[in-house]
Every structure is written in C-alpha cells, then in structure tokens.
C-alpha cells in the first residue's frame, strides 16, 4: 500500500478521530463500523476488531494515539483495555522524555557553540601575543614593582602586561608549574581584554590589586606562609576578580532583575567574575593551570572561587 492509501485508510482515520475527540474507540465488529470490512488493509490482515486510545504526555497534552488490532475471535476485554491504557501512559512519558532530552541536547550544543564563539572573541589576538613575547620584561626594580610606591599611571597597558608577567616570574610561579611563556602571555592579554572600560572596576584596578598582592607576598614576607599553589591561585584571583564588570553593583543587578541576577541569585557579579575567569582558563592556549594534576587543579579552582566570591562586601561585613 502507498503512503497516500495508508493516510486515507481506516486505521489512520480512526487515529485522527481519537486524537481530535480525545476519547477511546473500541470497534467490536464490522456491524458497528462497516469500514472495518471494507478497508483493504484490515481486510487483508483479517482484523476482527480494533481499539484506539489517545496518548498523553506529562502535561496531559495529546501527542499521538495507540492502536491495537485483534485478529482473534474474541473481543478486547477490560483487562486488555487496562493494559493498553498503561502502555499508552508509558509511551506518552517515553515520548515526552525523549523529546525533552533531544531539546536538552540541542540546548547543550547551542551552549557549546556559544562558548566556543565567546572563547574565540575573548582570547587575545595572536599578533598581540607575539608582540608581547618579543619584548624584554623589565626588572621589578626598574619600575618599583616590588614597592609600595609603585605607580602604574605612567605605564601603557602593554607595559602593565609586562609587569604582570614579571610578577609571575619573580614569585617563581611560572617555573614551578611549568607555565609555557606563550600561554602566560596569552592568558594575561586575554584577561586584560575581558575587562570593560568602566570607570573603576577595569583592567588598571585588577592590575593594581595583583601588584599589591605581589608586594604582600614578597615585601611583606608572607611567601613563607603560602605554598606555590596558593600563590598561583591568589595571583589568578586578584587579576581576575572583577572580570567583565558592568560598572554597577549587586543591588542594581538584583533590583533590575537582570539576566545575571536571574542566573546567580546571590553574589551576582562575583559569581560572574569567577565563571568568566574559568571560561578564559578553559579557552584554547590560555590554561595556565595546565600542568596541575587533578587534585592540585581542584584546590586551585576552589581557592580562586573562594577569593573572588569573598570580594562581595555583603559577605565581608557579615
């Protein structure tokens, strides 16, 4: 039989009626439904009676019909009806869950593509990476980087990147964790790129914070109390703690019911800064944590998260 013949046949017609009317059809014999004996398919198959019930999903919306054909002499019984109804419920839930899973897979794929696009645009251009790699990194003493009198105002943005590289070199972090120089340069440039040009919470603010931490660790003598892994996490958190800041506070985000507020609920901006930090680390060529083992990585990420979330003053004053 052709598809057109099937669509016009008794079985398809009954299924459409059941779906449209949302009710059970139990055709006992040709006397009740003459089309049963006239339909080519049911006639050839020797169908004596048929039962059709609507199939509902978890929202109780009709998504199809369950059609049962009987070639035996006896008619469908109440037990048959109960079994078919149970089977229809199972089918409805199965179809609903399968459709929900398919939607989830598509959303995850869309999210993955969006993250790939975001990562591409968030990563520093390769030309900048090559330029910064070609420059000599100034000694800390040349710019007073390791003093409390350090002033970043005379420096260009590229010079602040060079100073950032010097901080990672002089603390021994880049050598301790075998961070490739091109990865360190790309990561630092990417972090700078992902700060918006807002009045305060911008790249210069982040650089000032990491330079202050550098002084606390070295001049302040606190390096003896931290492991190299702690210092790596501290420096990463300092320079990343306001990534993609919008120039507003959490109260504004919450009262405006922004997308960020809906996503995070509490410590809105701080959670966004941390997630943005992780996104950059996971972007190709930016993972300065690449040489860490699984346990070290978990510790570092947990510490970075704790430090960034702790910059929420609402938590600080509790």
Longest CA span, the chain: 103
Catalytic residue among 56, 121, 201, 272: 201
Q: Are 272 and 264 in contact (CB under 8 A)?
A: yes
51 three-class SS: strand
CA distance 55 to 85: 9
The verdict on whether 272 is a catalytic residue reads: no
CA distance 163 to 153: 13
SS3 for 56-67 is ECCCCCEEEEEE
Q: Please tell me what DSSP assigns to residue 224.
A: G
For the sheet with 25-27, list strands across it: 25-27, 49-56, 62-70
CA distance 297 to 233: 10
CA distance 303 to 307: 6
The secondary structure element, H or E, covering residue 25 is: strand 25-27
> E strands along 123-221, which residues?
none
Catalytic residues: 201
């Amino acid at each position: 039989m052709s598809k057109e013949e099937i669509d016009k046949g008794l079985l398809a017609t009954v299924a459409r009626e059941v779906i449209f009317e949302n009710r059970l059809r139990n055709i006992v014999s040709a006397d009740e439904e003459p089309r049963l004996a006239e339909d080519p398919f049911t006639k050839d198959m020797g169908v004596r009676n048929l039962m059709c019930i609507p199939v509902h999903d978890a929202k109780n919306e009709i998504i199809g019909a369950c059609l049962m054909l009987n070639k035996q002499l006896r008619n469908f019984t109440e037990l048959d009806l109960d079994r078919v109804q149970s089977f229809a419920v199972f089918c409805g839930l199965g179809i609903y869950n399968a459709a929900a899973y398919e939607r989830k897979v598509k959303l995850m794929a869309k999210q993955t593509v969006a993250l790939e696009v975001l990562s591409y645009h968030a990563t520093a251009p390769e030309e900048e990476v090559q330029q910064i790699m070609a420059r000599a990194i100034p000694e800390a003493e040349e710019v007073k980087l390791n003093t409390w009198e350090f002033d970043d105002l005379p420096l260009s943005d590229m010079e602040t990147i060079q100073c950032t590289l010097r901080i990672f070199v002089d603390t021994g972090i880049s050598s301790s964790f075998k961070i490739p120089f091109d990865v360190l340069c790309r990561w630092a440039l990417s972090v700078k790129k992902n700060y918006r040009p807002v009045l305060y919470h911008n790249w210069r603010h982040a650089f000032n914070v990491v330079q202050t931490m550098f002084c606390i660790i070295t001049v302040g003598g606190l390096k003896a109390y931290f492991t190299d892994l702690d210092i790596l996490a501290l420096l990463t958190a300092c320079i990343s703690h306001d990534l993609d800041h919008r120039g507003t506070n959490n109260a504004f985000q919450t009262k405006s019911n922004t997308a960020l507020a809906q996503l995070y609920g509490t410590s809105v901006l701080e959670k966004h800064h941390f997630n943005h930090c992780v996104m950059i680390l996971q972007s190709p060529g930016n993972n300065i944590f690449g040489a860490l083992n699984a346990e070290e990585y978990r510790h570092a990420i947990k510490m970075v998260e704790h430090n960034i979330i702790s910059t929420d003053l609402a938590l600080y004053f509790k």
